[in-house]
Chain A
Amino acid sequence: MENLNSFGFLLPVLLVFGVIVIIPFLQSLVYSLTDFGGYDFSTAKWVGLDNYRQIFHDKTLLSGLGFTLLYTLATTMLITAVALPLAVVLNRKFFGRNFVRSAFFFLSVPSMVVLGVVWKYILSPLDSGALNMALRAMGLEGMPWLSNVNLAQGCVIFIAVWCQVGWHATLYLAYLQAIPNDLYEQAAVDGANRRQQFFNITLPQMVPAMGVSVFMLLTGGIKVYDLPFALTGGGPGTATLTVTQSIIQTGISSGRYGLGSALGVVFFLCCCLLVVLQQVVTKAIERRLS
């Protein structure tokens, strides 16, 4: 009976979810099996799995998939590795603590597109680029920041980490403040130093927070579009092309809804797989630590 009641509460949300996620997904599934051009579905022809075959033979799309995975894994690992210690530092008492907390959090407020445009000027590969001018003022050579494959990929990942780390540190901070102080006091009485306290108290207590943060980073990372698009437009070549940009370019802008939908379906399944994997790993870690 209680389950039925809970279901009653969930029903409105499920209805909305069904209308804005399930129905469009099923629609995409049907489109992906046709050559629908986005105008008149009655004229579309059934093409079977041709669109799916095309995806796995198109170098550009595969390149987009490669960078998206690199971006997702790199940002998730780097942000987690930096945000957690940062949250511990921000949790300590020091002069100007609130200002520093706000400053880190503020980086996540502006839109990624705005940040991309600003950083495009800073990282311009020309000698007149802000960073290259600073390097030259120090007697160093300018660098081709956005016109070298590896540097461009590194720049996109760096900016993503730079602007998101404060937000995730704030998330960790909220969980940190919920850890009872008694635990640290008892550990201190037992002679545990700060490092031991971090690894034996803070880190295990933070696993649920890490689960939430990693989940958001993975899902946000795999859907990334705005920052690489504003900063590099997917270039140089296809070095920073993302799956979402490919879906828009190949599917929507060129009127190939069938192909774009197939890409969307594959992308959706990849997202589901990644999220399930993440949940399984997080639950396993939680079980082990508890």
Chain B
Amino acid sequence: MSVGESVSKVVGRCPERKGKEIIMRIGRSIVAALSSIAIMASMGACGSANADEGTLTFLGNNNQNAYQGLLDGFEKKYPDVKVKFSTVTGAQSGYQETLQTRISGGKLPDVYILPPEQLSDVVKSNLAKDLSDESFMKDIGQTSRDMYSQGGKVYGMSVSGWVRALCFNKDLLAKAGYDNIPATWDEFKEMCKKLKAAGVTPYLEASDTIGVPIPAWIAQASAENVKNGKKTIDQAIADGDTTFEKAYTPYYAKWDELFKEGILNSDVSGLSAESVVSEFTSGRLAIMPSGSWDIPTLSKTGINFEYGTIPMLKKGDTPYAEGSPDPAYAINAKLSGKKLENAEKFLAYVASPEGLKAIQDGLGLATATESYSAKVDPTFQNVYDTYIKTGHFYMQFLAEGAMRPEGYTQMQQLALGSITPEQAGKNMDEKYATLR
């Protein structure tokens, strides 16, 4: 029995010829579909090969509305350049995977947003242009330049930054006789105890960013090391001069005091960020870790709030906070001629006061360069001046950031009381050994 006859059997009443016809139709459909795919692929290839030199492709990590002000401003200033914008389904989630997919598919745009986690791989694959000596980089802060440097060259231009500081309810703090977050850790714990005695939940952290003060303390100690001609703590770990167990354990132990002294309990190991914000906006929580991203929500609630700095371990310690320059603008290293010129014009516009204002207005980012100060919400001014303006923020990027989630996992276990600070340090070393 032929395939045609089989089809005839399946379709029942159809004679053999009808079965063959169906097979032929299916075959034709498959051939047509494959041909369409081939034509579309070749058209795509033609499109990129003959791309208009007056266009600039840009892959952003937020939706088009957020970038529209920046794009309009650029096109107004350079009417001969048209920006072709693309993004990741209108949200930031999955941006890294999308960038990676576009790179492996040979579709890297002219200008793209480069997250710090991908810097090393992008540079290794020669996909980002060296921006070190470009004129538009002259006002970019040193922290941002350092973050996007590899082998002494700068590959990304970050014009904004974020920090996680402490947001407090002024009315609740007043109940314990305070009007701001104290500068030192011991004073902070003292305040939390007073708040607790006054029937207020003093402080909560979310499980996915647990251990908020630890990066601040590590950054401060690293800055001291650098001042004394030594390596930063993370660099020393990366070079094998020290271990997490030796270097991080004292800071883990300090944070663990919150549990030992009854200020926090193991609930924080299972708390979502939304739950913490919800507690704060309901007026039950006095202090929570937060950044400028929460300001729009908090402003609508009627809570009398303000942002304070992370308490440091000793009086006189320079304040630092967990934070990072935002993902940077990078230029495709394969560009040349007019296309490269357009990309450089775009980055120069981004770094200009008009560009920075458009980014702040559209994307809500805290922009800062050495010649530009953003107008920030008054509740956040102190934090902006202390950390973002000075570049006093830090984020751990060992193993391209892969150690960070492991750190949160260890702190959750520490909160549960299932491991000691020393064990957390040892576990970090074990994990790092598998990722080096």
Q: B135: CB under 8 A from chain A? A: no
Q: Is the CB of B269 within 8 A of A43?
A: no
Give chain A interface residues in 110-162, CB to chain B under 8 Å.
Answer: 120-121, 124-126, 128-129, 144-149, 152
Measured between alpha carbons, how far is A124 from B399 in the docked complex, in Å? 33
Chain A residues positioned under 8 Å from B266 (CB to CB): 144, 147-148, 236
Q: Which residues of A contact B271 (CB under 8 A)?
A: 124-126, 146-147
Look across to chain A and name the residue whose beta carbon is closest to the beta carbon of B278: A128
Q: Which residue from B6, B269, B434 sits with its C-beta under 8 Å from A237?
A: B269
Chain B CB count within 10 A is highest, among A12, A37, A58, A59, for A37
A236–B415 contact, CB under 8 A?
yes
Number of interface residues of A (CB under 8 A): 44
Q: In the complex, what residue of chain A is closest to B208 when comparing beta carbons?
A: A233
Shortest Cβ distance from A142 into B: residue: B267
B284 cross-chain contacts in A, Cβ below 8 A: 128
A152 touches B1 (CB 8 A): no
Segment of A76-84, A93-101, A202-210, A248-256 engaged in the interface with chain B = A248-256
Q: Which residue of the partner chain, among B3, B270, B430, contacts A236 with CB atoms under 8 Å?
A: B270
Kindly count the residue-residue contacts between A and B in the assembled complex, taking CB atoms under 8 Å apart: 130
Which B residues from 275 to 289 make CB contacts under 8 A with A? 275, 278-279, 282, 284
Q: Decide yes or no: A54 and B267 within 8 Å by CB, A237-B416, A249-B405, A254-B117 being known contacts.
A: no
In chain B between 373 and 413, which residues have their CB closer than 8 angstroms to a CB of chain A?
A: 399-402, 405-406, 409-410, 412-413
- The dominant DSSP class at the B interface is helix
Chain B residues with CB below 8 A from A233, complex form: 207-208, 272
Would A147 and B399 count as touching, CB distance under 8 A?
Answer: no
Residue of B nearest to A42 (CB): B125
Q: Which residues of A contact B297 (CB under 8 A)?
A: none
Would A252 and B269 count as touching, CB distance under 8 A?
A: no
In the complex, per-residue mask of A159-196: 1 if CB is within 8 Å of any chain B CB, else 0: 00000000000000000000000000000000000000
List A residues 217-252 near B (Cβ within 8 Å): 232-238, 249-250, 252
CA distance A207 to B433 in the complex (A): 49
User: What residues on B are CB-neighbors of A236 within 8 Å?
Assistant: 207, 266, 269-270, 412-413, 415-416
Q: B409 is contacted by which of A12, A58, A235 (Cβ under 8 Å)?
A: A235
Q: Which of B121, B127, B278 contacts A255 (CB 8 A)?
A: B121
Task: Give Cα distance in the complex from A43 to B125, angstroms.
Answer: 8
List of B residues within 8 angstroms of A120 by Cβ: 272, 274-275
Contact B104 A12 (CB under 8 A): no
Which residues of the partner chain B approach A85 to less than 8 Å between Cβ atoms? none
Q: Does B431 sit within 8 A of A, measured CB to CB?
A: yes
Cα of A121 to Cα of B270 in the assembled complex, Å: 11
Q: Which of B124, B275, B278 is within 8 Å of A37, CB to CB?
A: B124
A39 interface residue per 8 A CB criterion: yes
- Chain A residues lying within 8 Å of B269, measured Cβ to Cβ, are 147, 235-237
Q: Given the complex, which residues of B lie within 8 Å of A249, measured CB to CB?
A: 402, 405
Q: Which residues of B lie under 8 Å from residue A234 when comparing CB positions?
A: 409
Q: What's the least CB distance linking B186 to chain A, in Å?
A: 27
CB of B48 within 8 A of chain A? no
Do A149 and B416 have beta carbons less than 8 Å apart?
yes
Chain A residues in 8 Å Cβ range of B121? 37-39, 255
Q: With A39-B100, A40-B124, A249-B405 known to touch, is A152 a contact of B279 (CB < 8 Å)?
A: no
Query: In whole angstroms, what is the CA distance A2 to B413 when docked?
Result: 61
**How many Å from the CB of A229 to the closest CB on chain B?**
11
Question: CB within 8 Å of B: which of A1-48?
Answer: 1-2, 5, 8-9, 12, 37-40, 43
Asked if A126 contacts B275 (CB within 8 A), the reply is yes
The answer to whether A250 touches B270, judged by C-beta atoms less than 8 angstroms apart, is no
- Give A237 Cβ to nearest chain B Cβ, in Å: 4
**Within 8 Å CB of B127, what residues of A?**
39
Q: How far is the CA of A149 from the CA of B427 in the complex (A)?
A: 18
Q: Does B122 reach chain A (CB closer than 8 Å)?
A: yes
> Using Cβ atoms and an 8 Å threshold, which residues of chain B touch A238?
409
Contact: A254 with B399, CB < 8 Å?
Answer: yes
Q: Which residues of chain A are near B118, meaning CB under 8 Å?
A: 255
Q: Is the CB of A58 within 8 A of B434?
A: yes
From 246 to 268 in chain A, residues with beta carbon under 8 angstroms from any chain B beta carbon are: 249-250, 252-256
Q: How far is the CA of A237 from the CA of B405 in the complex (A)?
A: 10
A287: Cβ under 8 A from any B Cβ: no
Q: Are A235 and B1 in contact (CB under 8 A)?
A: no
Complex alpha-carbon distance, A237 and B424, angstroms: 11
Instruction: Tell me the bound Cα distance from A124 to B272 in angstroms.
Output: 8
* A282: interface (CB < 8 Å): no
Specify the chain A residue showing the minimal Cβ separation from B118.
A255
A60 interface residue, CB < 8 Å from B?
A: yes
Q: Is B88 engaged at the interface, CB distance under 8 Å to the other chain?
A: no
Q: Does A57 contact B (CB under 8 A)?
A: yes
Q: Give min CB distance, B172 to chain A, whole Å.
A: 16
B418 touches A147 (CB 8 A): no
What separation, in Å, do the CA atoms of A238 and B278 have in the docked complex?
25
CA–CA, A74 to B400, complex, Å? 36
Distance of B38 from chain A, by nearest CB (Å): 15
| B2 adjacent to chain A (CB < 8 Å) | yes
B294 within 8 A of A: no
Enumerate 22 A-B pairs (CB-CB under 8 Å) in ascending A order: A5-B1, A9-B3, A38-B104, A39-B100, A39-B104, A39-B125, A60-B409, A121-B275, A126-B267, A126-B275, A126-B279, A129-B275, A148-B266, A233-B272, A236-B207, A236-B415, A237-B410, A253-B117, A253-B402, A254-B117, A254-B401, A254-B435
Would you list the 7 A-B pairs with minimal beta carbon distance, nearest first? A147-B270, A146-B270, A254-B402, A236-B269, A40-B125, A237-B413, A125-B267
Given contact pairs A57-B434, A59-B427, A125-B267, a sample of 9 additional A-B residue pairs in the complex whose CB atoms are under 8 Å apart: A39-B121, A59-B431, A125-B270, A126-B267, A129-B275, A147-B269, A233-B208, A234-B409, A236-B207
Interface residues of A (CB under 8 A from B): 1-2, 5, 8-9, 12, 37-40, 43, 54, 57-60, 120-121, 124-126, 128-129, 144-149, 152, 232-238, 249-250, 252-256
